[in-house]
Structure 1
Amino acid sequence: MRSTAHEHAAAAGWDVAKPPSPSRTPGVRIAGFRNRSAGPVEGPLFPHPAVTLVVAFGEGSLAVADAGGRHQGGSFVAGLVTGAARMRGEKVRCLEVRLSPVVTRAVLGACPSELAGVVVALDDVWGRDAARIQEQLGDAASWQDRFALAEASLARRAETGPSVDPEVAWAWDRITVSHGRVRVDELAAEVGWSRKRLWSRFGSQIGLPPKRAARLVRFDHAVHRLAAGEGPARVAAEGGYVDQSHLHRDVVAFTGVTPTTAAGGSGLAVDDLAWAKHGVSETD
């Protein structure tokens, strides 16, 4: 699978840089991207169970259109479940941060519920700090220096920002660890809350109700298994779907394309290369 991901990334014109070790801030993952193709590149941004922060730097151009057709140029933040968003860029260099919704409010200063389903400009969230970090990343000599800058900035924010309720964090962890196959109706009893209280707190602090969150996590796990070459019947049976048609409908609902199209594109392969594991960065 790794060689396939490398081949797809190369075909799509992307170089991917990864930190040598996981982030020291729980719930934070970082990768770097450089588009080396001669002309513009365009592709889908599939939903995943994280809030996405993209910091573009250098002289290239970057724009994203969310599922509602709203366009945003430059650095941006995409909330949970952006639908079939699309990205277009030319000579792009950017740092991408994936934030667990558990730490999103602390790092961004905005509740995930305020970002759910939308794409907004980074400076609308971070103000002047957005331009400052973009300049610092552009001036850095290497990807490792950029990762260090980002780590320091994100760690400071995470340490001083507000935290979610421990019960909400626990429920989110149960959903993600189970790949979305947890019985969400039992979560409230497990944390000792009423169903109404958990649903209200979870929705406001995570950005989605528990059932919708479980569906997103389940989809993300399933679509990456499809991209790795596993058959849809097996993925559906082992992934908590009623049948293969159920899987098909879910993938179309989240991506706007069929499972075959989603699995065969370069986007998921590049995604897998960037986030599957850490290693030495591949390009400066």
Structure 2
Amino acid sequence: MMDAPPDVIRRPPSPRLARLISSISFYRERGIGLAAFRHAAPLTLPLLVNLGTPFRIALGHQPDTADARPSFAAGLFPGPVVIESDGRAECVQVDFTPLGAYRFFGGAVPDLTARIVDLDDILGPLGRDLRARVAEAAGWQRRFEIVEDFVLRRAVYEPSPEVAFALETLWRGAGAVRIADIASEIGWSRKHLTRRFHHEIGAPPKTLAQMLRFHRACVLARTDGAGGWAAIAADAGYADQAHLARDFRMFSGETPTGWAARLDVVDSRLMRDGGG
């Protein structure tokens, strides 16, 4: 039997989980694995139940055999996440929204920041039970149901209204919002907002704002790169093109032109005007 592309089944969350997770997916390889696949500063927090060969995943560098990851949870990481597999990976993955992660993990969210943590270490016996039930289930539909029920039962922590407001404001403005202005509107000091935000989201508001601005620039490059990187930098709220180039190196590990070439964003104005 010849190797084939992986099976990927992704669906939006059911209405009862709409504010907790952004998606739930089933992934199964059929001989073709991943080679240095990159996620640049992901804005979701994954929980992965492994059913096949563990992925090799590293934060900010090329993975090796020591980076084999079975079932795990991970937090926000302001940099590139590099993933490899051997063609036999299989898993169910939940992608939490930042507030959904707090509702599920509670005060453990900061413990996940810039880390990949074994599911048993973060959930204890409940993690082992979840892995066993998912592995024994017949078909991806039943596996989705098991995982969704598990998430819903555990999502008992309530984020503070102030942090929820701050997050929504940053998200709506794609990061181009002054943290001091948000703090003033809430009635908190900037220092207090930063401390509470980090506790509930896993990163300071300034870091999340930078990540959101970077992703805004990525969207603009994919959809409207006609003006080149200088125009994208201005539209995304960067001080200048050099500032955008620094963030690309930080969050993707690549120059803007290198990122565009890897993703086949081939507008000639982007390829000759990379600022890095």
Q: TM-score range by the shorter chain?
A: 0.7 to 0.9
- Give yes or no for the alignment of 1:74 onto 2:70: yes
Q: TM-score, normalised by structure 1?
A: 0.79
Q: TM-score, normalised by structure 2?
A: 0.81
Contiguous gaps of at least 5 residues in structure 2: 266-276
The separation in 1 between residues aligned to 2:39 and 2:56, in whole angstroms, is: 12
- How many equivalent residue pairs? 254
Aligned equivalent of 1:13 = 5
The separation in 2 between residues aligned to 1:74 and 1:224, in whole angstroms, is: 32
SS at match of 1:120: strand
State which of 133, 140, 147 in structure 1 corresponds to 2:130: 133
Confirm or deny: 8 A CA contact 2:71 2:118 kept in the other structure.
yes
Q: Which amino acid aligns with 2:143?
A: R
State which of 35, 39, 42 in structure 2 corresponds to 1:45: 39
Aligned equivalent of 2:16 = 24
Q: Which has the larger radius of gyration?
A: 2
SS at match of 1:24: helix
For CA contacts below 8 A with separation 6 or more, give which structure has more relative contact order: 1
State which of 198, 208, 212 in structure 2 corresponds to 1:217: 212
Task: Indicate how the Cα distance of structure 1 residues 56 and 23 shifts in structure 2: closer, same or farther if over 3 A, else same.
Answer: farther
Give the % identical residues. 31
Task: Indicate how the Cα distance of structure 1 residues 60 and 167 shifts in structure 2: closer, same or farther if over 3 A, else same.
Answer: same
The separation in 1 between residues aligned to 2:165 and 2:42, in whole angstroms, is: 19
Q: Which runs of 4+ in 1 moved over 4 A?
A: 20-23
The separation in 2 between residues aligned to 1:264 and 1:150, in whole angstroms, is: 37
Confirm or deny: 8 A CA contact 1:226 1:235 kept in the other structure.
yes
Confirm or deny: 8 A CA contact 2:21 2:96 kept in the other structure.
yes
The separation in 2 between residues aligned to 1:56 and 1:120, in whole angstroms, is: 13
The 5 A counterparts of 1:75-94 are: 75-81=71-77, 83-90=79-86, 91-94=88-91
The separation in 1 between residues aligned to 2:28 and 2:43, in whole angstroms, is: 25
Q: Which amino acid aligns with 1:47?
A: A
The separation in 2 between residues aligned to 1:82 and 1:236, in whole angstroms, is: 19
Task: Indicate how the Cα distance of structure 1 residues 265 and 74 shifts in structure 2: closer, same or farther if over 3 A, else same.
Answer: farther
The separation in 1 between residues aligned to 2:28 and 2:260, in whole angstroms, is: 21
The separation in 1 between residues aligned to 2:260 and 2:126, in whole angstroms, is: 37
Aligned equivalent of 2:103 = 106
The separation in 2 between residues aligned to 1:95 and 1:124, in whole angstroms, is: 18
State which of 228, 232, 236 in structure 2 corresponds to 1:235: 232
Task: Indicate how the Cα distance of structure 1 residues 147 and 266 shifts in structure 2: closer, same or farther if over 3 A, else same.
Answer: farther
The separation in 2 between residues aligned to 1:164 and 1:256, in whole angstroms, is: 32
Confirm or deny: 8 A CA contact 1:30 1:147 kept in the other structure.
no
Q: CA deviation at 1:124?
A: 1.0
Confirm or deny: 8 A CA contact 2:109 2:199 kept in the other structure.
yes
State which of 32, 40, 55 in structure 2 corresponds to 1:62: 55
Q: CA deviation at 1:139?
A: 3.0
Q: CA deviation at 1:39?
A: 4.4
Cα deviation per residue 1:79-105 (whole Å; 9 max; x = unaligned)?
111522321223222222222222323
The 5 A counterparts of 1:132-151 are: 132-151=129-148
Confirm or deny: 8 A CA contact 1:110 1:125 kept in the other structure.
no
State which of 156, 160, 169 in structure 1 corresponds to 2:164: 169
Aligned equivalent of 2:191 = 196
